[in-house]
Structures are given as C-alpha cells and as structure tokens.
Amino acid sequence: MNRRLFAIVISCVLSLSAITSAGQTPALPEGVATRPINIWSDGTRLSGDLFYPKSMKSDDKLPAIILCHGWGGVRSHLNRAYAPQFASRGYVVLTFDYRGWGDSDSRLVVRGPLPKADEHGEVTVKAQAIRELVDPLDQTEDIVNAINFIEGEAGVDTSRIALWGTSYGGGHVVYVAANDARIRCIVSQVASMDSSLIVSSPLYQGGPARAHRETVQRARGESDPVPQGVDRVPNLRGTPYVSRMMNYRPVEHANKLKVPILLLDAEKEELLDIKLNGGLVYERVKDRVPARYHIFPGIKHYDIYSTKLREATEMAIEWFDKHLKGAKMK
C-alpha cells in the first residue's frame, strides 16, 4: 500500500476535530433539555451530556440512544448536529468524550516508584496524563460504560437502548453491539470496519512484526507503557495505539450481531472501500437480522455531515422509531 493510499484509507476514521471544538453549548430546539453528566470508565471520569424531551415525566420510560464519534472527535459536534434532533423525537440521548479527549479526564500512568499507601489506601505519585490516544479497546470499553450509565438513568427503558456511530465510531458500535446483549438496535454511517490496515501500512514501518514486538517490550517495561506522539497520521489528531489496533476488526464480529442494523455509506467515498467495510458487514448480516444498507448517490465521506446531514439523520430516526418504538418506516 503506497503512502497516498494509506493516507486516504486511514483518514476514514474522520477527525471530527477539524470541524468542531470542545465546550460549545448547542442551540437547542424548543422542547429539548440537556444536562451535563459524568461517566466512570475503568477508573477514569468521562465527560458527557444527556439530552431529553422537556415534557419527560418522572415515571416515563423512554428509549435511549448513545452517540459515538470518530477518530479525533469530541462530543460538541454531536451535541449540535445530532443529539438535539434525536431528543426532539422522544429519545433520551447520551453523548460523551472518550478518555483523554475533549473534557474527559486523562488516563494516568505512574512514573517512578509507587510509594507505600497510607491508612486510607491513598498515595501521592508522579504520573503522566495520557491525552488524545486513539485506542479502540479503551474506546469500546468507554462505550460499554456509557451503556452502564444510561442503564441506571431514571426515565430510560433499559430494554430499548440503541447505538449510533459515525466513521471510526461506526465500527465501534458494530463491535459493541455484537458483544453486548443490552443493545437493541444500531445505526452505523460511513464506517471504518477494519483497523488492521494501519499496521500493514508503509507509514507504520515494521508491520505486524513490529507491533507484536512492541507489545512484548511494553509488558517487560522496555519501552513506554503507552505510546504518545508517535506514528501520527497526517491531518488527524491523536496517537494511534497501533499494536492494539492490530487485531481490531469490527467486521469480523458482524456474524455475532443479533439486532437490527442500518448502514449508511457514500457512493463516492474517497477514504475507504465501502465494499470491504459497510458493504461487507451488510452481506454478513442481511440474512440473519433486519438490515438496511443505503448508499447516498454522488457524495463523498464528509458530505454526510453537510449536504446529507438532514437526510441521514431522518433515516436514522426512522430506523430507531421502527425498531425501538415499533413505528413503521416511511
């Protein structure tokens, strides 16, 4: 794979940071309320927001949707473009930043010897704050803990929880839904379904052999325990945790899916081969679960966030209405 092709392929994970910034308050449509929340994921605090109808009563049990952004993304984009629209149609909607991204806390790595704990089990240490690490295993764990959070939210019907994901997050929702029985429905748009291309690219010299060697070195303390500032992909924020991506292939989990799935792709997709991503997932599930695969004609990857934003959002809402509310698709 040449460098230009790799730059195209890996860009499929979509750096939403290029079109968003953290901390922006969305202009809410009439009838929608929001409040900030914190999620604890493997000991790290994640920052998030809940959106819900203002008319929601204390004894209501509404379906819930968790939104999962892509590589380099933060939830502010989702808070503006998607969450209020879903909430205005009768859903509780959760957005969040992955650990080390946006407003979420950093993962900490202790540097130096660990002192003896005091009587409360507490220690004071020198630690490195890990920021903007693209680790699919950590990120999918964060999604699972977002599910754990929403399951405990008053007003949510825990039998009707859905996932929506875009680009790199579009692969995450397939992986999580295939392995978590609490999910009842998913929507995945312009998704990257296979991270193994990163390891085999010329930009990651040494390929799988190097990735495996690095896992051994990290376990033995012979290299940094977590990669930072290396193997950066042009025009994308964040450090890819390449050795953790080596075997991360959501497409290979599609055969385990047991829930309805809507897949949205761009006909002129310039960042990946849709036949090997969304198209391949569809082929693997179409005869087993309710599935729909829609390719928007004439558009490229990023057009789904602009010219096709409204249409893609309406299709997602119709899918959720049908499979979470029982309403018929138009």
Radius of gyration of the chain, Cα coordinates, nearest whole angstrom: 20
Q: Does residue 212 sit within a domain?
A: yes
- What is the average per-residue pLDDT within 77-105? 96
Total residue count of the chain as it appears in this document: 330
Q: Which residue range is the domain that position 221 belongs to?
A: 3-103+132-325
**Per-residue pLDDT, 237:** 86
Number of domains in the chain: 1
pTM of the model: 0.90
Question: Starting at the edge strand that comes first in sequence, how are the strands of the sheet with 92-96 ordered?
Answer: 32-41, 44-53, 92-96, 62-68, 156-166, 183-189, 261-266, 291-296
- Residue 219 burial class via C-beta count within 10 angstroms: exposed 0-12, middle 13-18, buried 19 and up: exposed
In a domain, 82, yes or no: yes
- Is pLDDT at 133 greater than 70 in this prediction? yes
**Bridge pairing between strands 92-96 and 44-53:** antiparallel
**Average pLDDT rounded to a whole number, residues 181-185:** 97
Q: Does 115 reside within a domain?
A: no
In a domain, 121, yes or no: no
In a domain, 289, yes or no: yes
CATH number of the CATH domain containing 286: 3.40.50.1820
Tell me what pLDDT residue 14 has: 39
Q: What is the pLDDT of residues 262-304, one digit of tens each?
A: 999 999 998 889 999 999 999 999 999 999 999 999 999 999 9
Is there a domain that residue 86 lies in? yes
Q: Of 199, 196, 187, which Cα lies nearest the Cα of 316?
A: 187
Of the given ranges (15-29, 116-130, 181-195, 220-234), which has the lowest mean pLDDT?
15-29
C-alpha distances in Å from residue 12, one per residue of 20, 42, 166, 236: 17, 28, 10, 10
For residue 13, name the pLDDT band (cuts at 50, 70, 90).
Answer: very low
Beta strands in the chain (DSSP E): 32-41, 44-53, 62-68, 92-96, 107-111, 126-130, 133-134, 156-166, 183-189, 239-240, 261-266, 291-296
In a domain, 125, yes or no: no
Residue 189 lies in a domain: yes
